[in-house]
Amino acid sequence: MFCNPSNIHNFNYIKNVLVRCNYDITIYSYSLPIHGIKQEYIDFYERNRVKIIGGHSISEQGHFKYILKSFFSIGKITGEFDCAHVQYVSPYIAPIIYFYRKRYKKIVLTYWGSDLLRSNCVFRIMCRPLIRISSWITFITSDMQSTFNKYFHIHNNQKTELLDFGNMFFDSIDEMKLINGNEHDTLCLKYHLNPQKTIITIGYYWRKQMQQRETLETLINSGLFSKEKVQFAIPAYSITHEEKISIEEYCSKNGYEVSVYDFFMNEEEVSGFRAITDIFINAQTTDAFSSAMTEHLYSGSLVINGSWLKYSVLDEKGVYYLTFDSFDSLPSVVCEAVDNMQEEKEKAKNNKDIISSFCSWTYWREKWLKLYK
């Protein structure tokens, strides 16, 4: 496996697919040295005899040193492997794996989204040789697959698959959804939210492409929302202290309540937060099929996506969600949703069953395992 072993999605893939099937697993951590991996993950890997080889950080090494050190680090890995599986196709790692290609009977590439959708011409050239010799290439959505075909002019559908990760929070969300009455109010207060107001969550991770600040300012500046009726919640892991203070001061100046979460939420915290959110706004510039959006749909939140984010699988399955075409139209869409919350949530009541039918590990495990056979 070439991946970030500290990433929660990679961790759960290894846990729910590879470890369950008793594979002999070696992980090359292409983005982190050993000391950067979460201790709880290291403990799990050690208990299950998963070998971890520490990599290097691009931000610490710089691009040239990173490539050079990665080349020699991967070169020290001994033995032949039945499969090399790359989770998130890094243009800096792709040429190195190609160089050592004779070690692997199969090579599987899994695109996550930004590694394809935000790639430039140079990055694609760096990945092309590895793509050509790969056994399988997987995508989360058909829209990503179409983009791949356009970028690389490769139309061999015999070696491409649409595969996703199973969601690990569904059971925890169900437990949280059982909370009601005063206990629900207590849960809201835990997140510094007013249980009497509509909770509008914007995005799920602080980065420029998520457009959380732009979304918040658009809604507040519209003047359409009652300060006594709505409040804003912004999951903002990786936000700077200065940016957080700026958002809080902006909302305070305009008379709105906001909670900015600058820490990494664990499973219980994520599940509780999904369970109490009334409206989730997804306005990022590109997205393949984020787990956060899936969890909000499952939990019963009313999801509002930018219309430029194409989720054909949701449309095909009949999932109910709202869209907006631009920031100019966003306030009216959200305002109408707030005013008709009960009716909108009634329309979305079947989302949980639909989402669970194709987003659980039980559904996806065997489909992943077929790639290795």
User: What share of the chain in percent tops pLDDT 90?
Assistant: 75
Is 185 or 156 the better-scoring residue by pLDDT? 185
Which residues have CB under 8 Å from 73's CB, separation 6+? 28, 53, 54, 55, 56
Tell me the β-bridge partners of 106: 83
The pLDDT value recorded for residue 180 is 54
pLDDT for the residue numbered 318: 96
Q: What is the mean pLDDT of the chain?
A: 93
- Residue 87 pLDDT > 70, yes or no? yes
Average pLDDT over residues 286-307: 92
Beta strands in 140-273 (DSSP E): 160-162, 198-202, 230-235, 258-261
Residue with tokens 């949703």: 337
State mean pLDDT over 93-108. Answer: 97
pLDDT(175) > 90:
no
- Do 2-166+361-372 and 170-359 fold alike per CATH? yes
pLDDT (tens digit per residue) in 204-253: 999 999 999 999 999 999 999 999 999 999 999 999 999 999 999 999 99
* pLDDT, tens only, 19-73: 988 899 999 999 889 988 989 899 999 999 999 999 998 888 889 999 999 999 9
Residue 118 contacts residue 124 (beta carbons within 8 Å) = no
pLDDT at position 156 = 66
CATH placement of domain 2-166+361-372: 3.40.50.2000
In this predicted structure, what is the pLDDT of residue 328?
A: 96
Question: Cα torsion at 243, 244, 249, 254 (round to 10°)?
Answer: 100
Query: What percent of the chain is modeled with pLDDT above 70?
Result: 98
pLDDT for 203 beyond 80? yes
Q: Coil, strand or helix: which one is 81?
A: strand
**303 closest CA partner among 278, 340, 271:** 278
Residue 182 predicted with pLDDT over 80 = no
Residue 369 token pair: 């395992």
Q: What is the dihedral of CA 143, 147, 153, 154, to 10 degrees?
A: -40
Domain boundaries, the chain: 2-166+361-372, 170-359
The predicted model scores a pTM of 0.68
Q: For residue range 341-350, what is the model confidence (pLDDT) as tens digits?
A: 999 999 999 9
Kindly tell me if the per-residue pLDDT of 157 is higher than 80.
Answer: no
Q: Quick check: 8 pLDDT over 70?
A: yes
Nearest to 173 by CA among 363, 356, 362: 356
Predicted pLDDT at 361: 87
Between 91-100, 163-172, 323-332, the lowest mean confidence (pLDDT) is in 163-172
Q: Which CATH number fits domain 170-359: 3.40.50.300, 3.40.50.2000, 1.10.1740.10, 3.40.50.2300?
A: 3.40.50.2000
pLDDT of residue 264: 85
Q: For 356-371, how does the pLDDT look when each residue is reduced to its tens digit (9 = 90+)?
A: 888 888 889 999 999 9
